[in-house]
Structure 1
Amino acid sequence: MGTMLEEPAPRDPAQLLVQATVKLLAEQGPSAIKARTVAAEAGVSTMVVYHHFGGIPELVGAVIDHGFGEIERAFARLPVTADPVADLFSMALAVREIARANPHLYDLMFGLSMRATYRPAPSKAVRRSGHSEAFKAAYAHMTAACERLVASEEVAFVAPETVAAGLWSTMHGYISLELADHFVEFDDPVGSIMLPAGVVFAVGLGGDRRRAQASHVEAMRRHEASAR
């Protein structure tokens, strides 16, 4: 079973529009995100876009929330074990799988692509806090795992929030570079780059190299087993 989860059938026009936009991103990229094109894909009139979202920027914001919702659901399905290092790498592998399934959506979520006129319009709550509730829900899983890692005393004490931010940055950097074909010379970029980078991060926190290596290998085993 892979990381991607089956979406429930849309129940309202807003959901139809979001899922239509996600589909267009996967098939055609951000240039296809126009009110008329999205409406046609969703089987509704163009005015429905403006009625439910106000415009494309607001729709894009909802699509970004949809993407982080996918990540949150993937994280929620992962087992919480006595090995937080393995759990954290499992999260990174899950995000990579989601990113590879729809690279344009992933790029959009992290601000790597979108025409300037269609930049997402954040809600007032997002402008105040800096992040949407969908992002916070996904990120909370990683913070919780980092709290367990620090509490395990397997690493030197570092604020869990700092560990989470560092891991999030490392994960996103690797995935973005892989999606941009920077690692095409490697037959197994995950094993050659992503896994060793995770081990180096754990060792940098004061962890034991052999234990960190074993944890990352275990996470790979779990991920491959779940994909069968």
Structure 2
Amino acid sequence: MAGLAILEEGGDPKALSLREATRRAGVSAMAPYRHFADKDALLAAVATIGFQRLREALLAADGQGGGIMALREQGVAYVAFACANPALFRLMFGSATAKDDAMVAASNASYAVMEERVRSLVPADRVEDWALHCWATAHGLAALAVDGQFDDTAETIEAMTRRVMSLGAVPAVC
């Protein structure tokens, strides 16, 4: 998808346009309107792909171990995804104003990976709170990293994320 390619090249999500996506795809000016009602629909479609990719990254991290270690590694994968795809990350969590059903489902599916890991670690009545806590911690670290608030070496950001996720984002076994 041309819109995704624009973001992967470091494009600004706010500057992503149907016109530029059309030009990149090499199709007529009216072709995108067969697939997207407007720019917001294009942004939602690109954000949907981002959430699907984030889910894949979280699942891969979850498969690297079990228990608390898997949850910590999901946090590391979340931050790494954001750092590798800053424009897409910003689109997914901010610039995409039209949240269609596919985007909401993809977002929920990515969240569910972390929620399922938390479910394996805490009593049922604490899952919702701990899942939100872990997601918010990983997301906050990712947003800070994308905004350049940490050292810019991947090893430093990864180590910092692992440390912070181990401190307070990972639930103690209740």
Range of TM-score over shorter length: 0.7 to 0.9
Aligned to 1:47: 30
TM-score (norm 2): 0.85
Q: How many pairs does the alignment contain?
A: 172
Q: Within 1, Cα distance between the matches of 2:108 and 2:138?
A: 17
Q: Structure 1 residue aligned with 2:148, among 181, 196, 202?
A: 181
Q: Structure 1 residue aligned with 2:122, among 150, 159, 168?
A: 150
Alpha-carbon displacement from aligned partner over 1:118-149 (angstroms, at most 9, x marks no partner): x53223x48xxxx7111111111111100101
Aligned to 2:163: 196
Identical pairs, percent: 28
In structure 2, relative to structure 1, the CA distance for the partners of 1:202 and 1:66 (3 Å cut) is closer
Q: 1:136 and 2:103 equivalent?
A: no
User: Equivalent residue of 1:150, what SS?
Assistant: coil
User: Equivalent residue of 2:19, what SS?
Assistant: helix
Alpha-carbon displacement from aligned partner over 1:5-50 (angstroms, at most 9, x marks no partner): xxxxxxxxxxxxxx21111112222254111110111121221222
User: Equivalent residue of 2:132, what SS?
Assistant: helix
Please tell me the residue identity of whatever aligns with 2:7. Answer: L
In structure 2, relative to structure 1, the CA distance for the partners of 1:206 and 1:121 (3 Å cut) is closer
Contact 2:75 2:162 in 1 (8 A): no
TM-score (norm 1): 0.66
Structure 1 residue 194: deviation in Å? Answer: 1.9
Structure 1 residue 81: deviation in Å? Answer: 7.0
Q: Within 2, Cα distance between the matches of 1:41 and 1:150?
A: 48
Structure 1 residue 158: deviation in Å? Answer: 5.5
Structure 1 residue 79: deviation in Å? Answer: 4.8
Q: RMSD of the alignment, in Å?
A: 2.6
Moved more, 52-61 or 86-95: 86-95
In structure 2, relative to structure 1, the CA distance for the partners of 1:102 and 1:68 (3 Å cut) is same
Structure 1 residue 93: deviation in Å? Answer: 1.7
Please tell me the residue identity of whatever aligns with 1:167. Answer: C
Matches within 5 A, 1:1-228: 19-27=1-9, 28-80=11-63, 83-111=66-94, 114=95, 119-123=96-100, 125=101, 132-150=104-122, 159-184=126-151, 188-191=156-159, 193-201=160-168, 205-206=171-172
Q: Give ranges in structure 1 of 5+ residues lacking alignment.
A: 1-18, 152-156, 209-228
Please say which structure displays the higher CA radius of gyration: 1
Alpha-carbon displacement from aligned partner over 1:139-187 (angstroms, at most 9, x marks no partner): 1111110010115xxxxx7611111111110001011111111113887
Contact 1:25 1:32 in 2 (8 A): no
In structure 2, relative to structure 1, the CA distance for the partners of 1:82 and 1:58 (3 Å cut) is closer
Q: Give ranges in structure 2 of 5+ residues lacking alignment.
A: none
- Larger relative contact order (Cα-Cα within 8 Å, sequence gap ≥ 6): 2
